[in-house]
Amino acid sequence: MRPLAPGDTIGIVSPASAAQGTVYEDFSRIAESRGYSVKVFGETEPTFGRMTGSDRNRANSLIAAFEDDEVTAVICARGGYGSGRLLSHLDPSRVKNKIFVGYSDITNLLVHLNTMCRITTFHGPMAADLAGKNDPDTMRWLFSFLEGKRLAYDLSTKDHRVFRSGEASGMVFGGNISTLETLIGTESWSMPEGAILFLEDTNEFMYSLDRSLVHLQRSGVFEKASAIIFADLQLKDASDRDNSIGFLLEELLEIHFGDFSGPIIFDAPCGHTQRQMTIPLGVQARLEAAHDGSRLEFENFWNCHVPSILAA
């Protein structure tokens, strides 16, 4: 894997739900303005439910993007639903070590490619996000990472809140909570010991978040984590105690992580947020969490494979 450079080609794939409107045209204009060309793989309209083709066809389109020598980076058109249906149709030996970007339902592929193919993946905005929001920070963060110009974030007090201060190092692992927990117990799941666990979700009720946290705790996920980063979760009913479970978010965190010794931050600008950080997964990082500002710094991962612990 290497960073993007002017003249490179970005492939767009639709492994889950079909993108709507002028996403492909709008993203192409954005990419071309930065000196890149764009190549679309597979169908763009919903022909299999709300998905762009059968599971096997969508898997073949994804593999075609990875095998295309002209393509340096592969970005998903959107999430929605359906990428988990592809996993049994993917041949890891055909996945080349390239940039791969997505989030939400695409967590299935981010984690699967980490585990089975030992490549770094990027939890970040998709074509539909860039075409629709066009947030300057989101755009800057994505391309500064993909172009090899950024390896750290300095988070101000406006960008996040700190539940527990401290410092920790480990491999970054995680993604969308609702999707991530469905991978537990499958061949796609291989969480490294001492991981910096990243979790995001959206449009869920507080009771649903609590249920997921219970599941992750009982599955031993938190025991293996050295630190936890919660995105701004965009919950349906988190503003006061008159919600579906009767606890504020901070109280729920205290219930689940009162005995957790590592640093925990929450409300970070990533995932289903207007401003969205790009987070490389399967790379070593260090989190320094402090109430007056935090820092998340990644080791240089270019031209590297994910360590074999993720392929166990």
* Total residue count of the chain as it appears in this document: 312
Interval 162-183 mean pLDDT: 98
Domain tally, the chain? 2
Residue 278 has pLDDT above 60, yes or no: yes
- The answer on 173 and 99 residing in a single domain is no
Q: Is residue 147 annotated as part of the catalytic site, yes or no?
A: no
Decide: 128 and 78 in contact? Cβ < 8 Å: yes
Model pTM?
Answer: 0.94
- The answer on 284 and 270 residing in a single domain is yes
Which member of 256, 272, 288, 294 is catalytic? Answer: 272
Backbone phi, then psi, for 208, in 5-degree steps? -70, -40
- The answer on 108 and 187 residing in a single domain is no
Confidence at residue 23, expressed as pLDDT on a 0 to 100 scale: 94
Beta carbons within 10 angstroms of residue 10's beta carbon: 25
| CA distances to 59, 102, 109, 283, 306 from 94, in Å | 11, 19, 14, 22, 17
Tokens of 30: 């954005």
Residue 4 domain-assigned? no
Q: Amino acid identity of 169? A: S
Each residue's pLDDT tens digit, 45-61: 999 999 999 999 999 99
Confidence at residue 127, expressed as pLDDT on a 0 to 100 scale: 96
- The answer on 231 and 173 residing in a single domain is yes
Residue 12 has pLDDT above 80, yes or no: yes
Indicate the pLDDT class of residue 308, thresholds 50, 70 and 90: very low
Which member of 104, 178, 188, 208 is catalytic? Answer: 104
- The answer on 292 and 162 residing in a single domain is yes
| % of the chain exceeding 90 in pLDDT | 88
Instruction: Output the DSSP codes for 178-207.
Output: HHHGGGTTSTT--PPTTEEEEEE--S--HH
Residue 303 has pLDDT above 70, yes or no: no
Q: Is residue 200 annotated as part of the catalytic site, yes or no?
A: yes
Residue 96 has pLDDT above 80, yes or no: yes
- The answer on 156 and 141 residing in a single domain is no
Tokens of 187: 């061949």
- The answer on 123 and 85 residing in a single domain is yes
Residue 1 domain-assigned? no
- The answer on 257 and 165 residing in a single domain is yes
Residue 33 has pLDDT above 70, yes or no: yes
Confidence at residue 238, expressed as pLDDT on a 0 to 100 scale: 74
Domain boundary among 146, 175, 195: 146
- The answer on 216 and 268 residing in a single domain is yes
| CA distances to 129, 173, 268 from 13, in Å | 14, 23, 27
Could you tell me the CATH number of the domain that includes residue 38? 3.40.50.10740
Residues 78 and 15: their CA atoms lie apart, in Å, by 8
Could you tell me the CATH number of the domain that includes residue 247? 3.50.30.60
Decide: 52 and 45 in contact? Cβ < 8 Å: yes
Average pLDDT, the chain: 94
User: To 10 degrees, the CA torsion angle through 26, 27, 28, 29?
Assistant: 60
Confidence at residue 304, expressed as pLDDT on a 0 to 100 scale: 61
The whole domain housing 167 covers: 152-300
Confidence at residue 242, expressed as pLDDT on a 0 to 100 scale: 84
Domain boundary among 125, 146, 167: 146
Residue 3 domain-assigned? no
Confidence at residue 312, expressed as pLDDT on a 0 to 100 scale: 33
Each residue's pLDDT tens digit, 50-93: 999 999 999 999 999 999 999 999 999 999 999 999 999 999 99
Beta bridge partners of residue 225, listed in sequence order:
195
Indicate the pLDDT class of residue 305, thresholds 50, 70 and 90: low
Domain boundary among 94, 111, 146: 146
